[in-house]
Amino acid sequence: VSLGFLEPGVRYRAEVYRDGDGADFRSNPFAFKRETREVSSTDSLTLVLAPGGGQAIRFTPL
């Protein structure tokens, strides 16, 4: 996913809450990982979603 919607020239802290290893809505619905990284409008993120899963990302300007 392109992060081109972020303000150009500004660095952000991205807090990513994503499906964890072995996540599955039936057998392992609470498996998740939290990651933090620095990003800008020129970056992109790869989303890998478990069956019935998802992601949430919070962007905070640095």
Q: Which of 47, 51, 53, 15 is nearest to 32 (CA)?
A: 53
Please give the chain's pLDDT, 62 residues, in tens: 999 999 999 999 999 999 888 888 888 888 889 999 999 999 999 988 888 888 999 999 99
Structure tokens at 37: 């990284």
Q: Domain spans of the chain?
A: 12-61
Cβ atoms within 10 A of the Cβ of 39, count?
19
